[in-house]
Amino acid sequence: CGCSSAGPCEIPRLGKELSYCGSLSSDLVVQLVVEGSATDPRVACRSLAGETLACFDVDVPDLFSNVAVHVSRELGPRNCRPRLVLASGRLAPPALNFFELLAAARADATA
């Protein structure tokens, strides 16, 4: 597998029923689009091809919830990690909550 300062290294052998595999995870780019009114917001998750992957209402108790966690739950089990992009094209920060997402959507709409 290569060399280190201690000399050549080897990948450890595994038992009969075990094997190594590459990473099965990849990135899924999801664009977040805020729809609906200010009092009844809805978030659409779209692929870069424009396909709607998920759509959900944002309720008051969810305002300070992490958007990435909620989107992952809405998308269901997949062998990928969602990378969230705002409607403006900017990459969403990992700790983005719905309150911040709605504020960013309002700011983009008035710009």
- What does the DSSP assignment read for 13-30? P--TT--------EEEEE
pLDDT average, residue stretch 52-80: 90
Whether 26 shows a pLDDT value over 90: the answer reads no
What is the pTM (predicted TM-score) of this model? 0.71
Greatest mean pLDDT among 19-23, 36-40, 57-61: 57-61
Residue 21, pLDDT > 80, answer: no
Q: What is the mean pLDDT of the chain?
A: 85
- pLDDT number for residue 20: 63
| Close Cβ partners of 72 (under 8 Å, ≥ 6 residues apart) | 82
